[in-house]
Structure 1
Amino acid sequence: MEERKLEEIAFHDKLRDGAYEQRWSPEAEARVAHEPVWANFKYYSIEQNSIDLMRKWLLENCRGSVILDYCCGNGDESLFVARNGAKKVVGIDISPLSIQNCNERAAAENLQDTVSFKAMDAEAMEFDDNTFDFMMEYGVLHHLDLHKGMAELARVLKPGGCMVCTETLGHNILIKTYRRRTPELRTAWEAEHILTKESFDIIKQYFGRIEMHFFHLFALGAVPFRHTPFFPVILGALRLIDSVLLKIPGLRWQAWQVVFKLSEPRKTR
């Protein structure tokens, strides 16, 4: 196995050791506060509106579907679609500890008949062509060789299917500066492959249609207030500003995150 993939396994096993949390709450932040690798968890306090769009799309597509949770982490979205009518859910991840956590969570909810998990290389998946009706990922693509990952995703998605993705972006100078100053919070490959406009040129080689929505620019200013009574009001006002400014073509790429839907897979073999 390539060295970069071994580094990903080690990093994500450490990240998931004793931590089921993938979604921010004050309680979740408190539980991992002693772990330096979770130091940027606080920024996820503002992302509920991007999660809301992502889960809206999941609900629109999951019922009766065979679903892939691509690099599933601790399985939040696998369990979400399993609870909401998915026919079958398969989660894969390169981290064996993540898979262990997922299986424990599925067993605790008695969802083993609907959802299964397997450690697997996301760039060389063990599935037949045209296996899945619907696929999803959250914060994964910048960990991969994008050409290899996209080719595999297009291969295993049925022609009429779609995929929902959430990714961070790499254009904002302040966010880039923060990333450079905190190298311990991500792998070397990850740090160099945050998605940019050019990344979407690659993605378009494998999917004929992309629908994109940009989130979290001024909203990041609410993070210092997350433990105060004023947080909802401040966050709401900053989200309103974002909702206007992030519709401007040039400015929207300064956002922290983008939620997008891929469809019309282009098979390379």
Structure 2
Amino acid sequence: MQLEERKLKEIEHSDRRRSIVRAYEYHTDASAEQLEETFVQEKEEFDEHFSNMKFYSITKSSFAHRDALLYQGIKGAVALDYCCGNGEVAIAMAKRGAAKVYGIDISQVAIDNARKLAQLEGVGHICEFAVMDAEHTAFSDATFDIVHEYGALHHLDLPAAFSELSRILKPGGRLVCTEALRHNPLIHWYRKRTPQLRTAWEVEHILGFPEIYSGRTYFSQLNMRTFHLAALGAVPLRRLPIFEPLLGLLNGIDRLLLSIPLLRRMAWVAVMEYRQPVKA
């Protein structure tokens, strides 16, 4: 398979990250020690290459919204975890009742991790993982009832990805995406100051509202909600007893702030649901 230089760099970057943390990377910063001991291979490398995991301590609200969309109608569905990483969401979909779940990723290390984790979690017979180029998958037209994507679109050629996702979804299928936003200057400044955490392509292709809205070329319906602005202020206190009540308060403030059109762009994360794929 002939891959562009940017994809080879993505493979190198992803293989390294998946070799350091074998599963549940978004829970490692504030997790029980057993989780870190089980899945974190190199503590010093983890501290360097996953230093941004502390920010995911505040993402319960966006994950909860994502899950409410994702698991609606999941029982009996044929599902895809698109750019699945270590396969955690594919496994969750299987546990929620999906009839069959596929996971694809460009990293062989990620796919190996996902297969092992699915067996460990008792859903290896439901999940099937494969190394695949997400812009040119091997799936037939109209294969999936639901597709999950998390933090992958900004690694890809966006029109190619949207076109492929529209093609492989059934006419009544749904695509549920979670992506970071590029509009907040402080957040984007942090990205540029931490090059070890992401590839150069990734930094330059973080999605904004125009890119998200461009998906309406490939899907007739888009629902979007943004998350996490004031809540970022709770991150330094994540290990203290005050954290949970403070986060609840700041999430309430965010619901007000992010209802204002001009402030929506300043959020860290957007959760999107695309429906009604437009078939070529």
Q: TM-score range by the shorter chain?
A: over 0.9
How far apart, CA to CA, are the structure 1 residues paired with 2:110 and 2:32? 17
Are 1:67 and 1:89, in contact at CA under 8 Å, matched by a contact in 2?
yes
Aligned length in residues: 268
Where does residue 6 of structure 2 map in the other structure? Answer: 4
Where does residue 153 of structure 1 map in the other structure? Answer: 165
Are 1:21 and 1:28, in contact at CA under 8 Å, matched by a contact in 2?
no
Deviations 1:219-257 (A, max 9, x none): 001000011111111111111100111111111111000
Are 2:82 and 2:104, in contact at CA under 8 Å, matched by a contact in 1?
yes
Q: 1:187 to 1:259 in 2, by over 3 A?
A: same
2:134 equivalent to 1:132: no
Q: Secondary structure at the match of 1:251?
A: helix
Counterparts of residues 87-236 of structure 1 (less than 5 Å): 87-236=99-248
Are 2:75 and 2:96, in contact at CA under 8 Å, matched by a contact in 1?
yes
Provide TM-score, normalisation by structure 2: 0.92
How far apart, CA to CA, are the structure 1 residues paired with 2:96 and 2:213? 33
Where does residue 79 of structure 2 map in the other structure? Answer: 67
Displacement of 1:28: 6.5
Are 2:25 and 2:53, in contact at CA under 8 Å, matched by a contact in 1?
no
How far apart, CA to CA, are the structure 1 residues paired with 2:206 and 2:261? 19
Deviations 1:44-76 (A, max 9, x none): 010011111111112213111000110001111
Structure 2 unaligned segments of length 5 or more: list them. none
Are 1:22 and 1:76, in contact at CA under 8 Å, matched by a contact in 2?
no
Q: 2:31 aligns with which of 27, 32, 38?
A: 27
Structure 1 unaligned segments of length 5 or more: list them. none
How far apart, CA to CA, are the structure 2 residues paired with 1:201 and 1:242? 22
How far apart, CA to CA, are the structure 2 residues paired with 1:76 and 1:240? 29
Q: Secondary structure at the match of 2:139?
A: coil
Where does residue 264 of structure 1 map in the other structure? Answer: 276
Displacement of 1:183: 1.4
How far apart, CA to CA, are the structure 1 residues paired with 2:245 and 2:213? 38
Displacement of 1:207: 0.9
How far apart, CA to CA, are the structure 2 residues paired with 1:208 and 1:15? 36
Q: Secondary structure at the match of 1:92?
A: strand
Where does residue 16 of structure 1 map in the other structure? Answer: 18
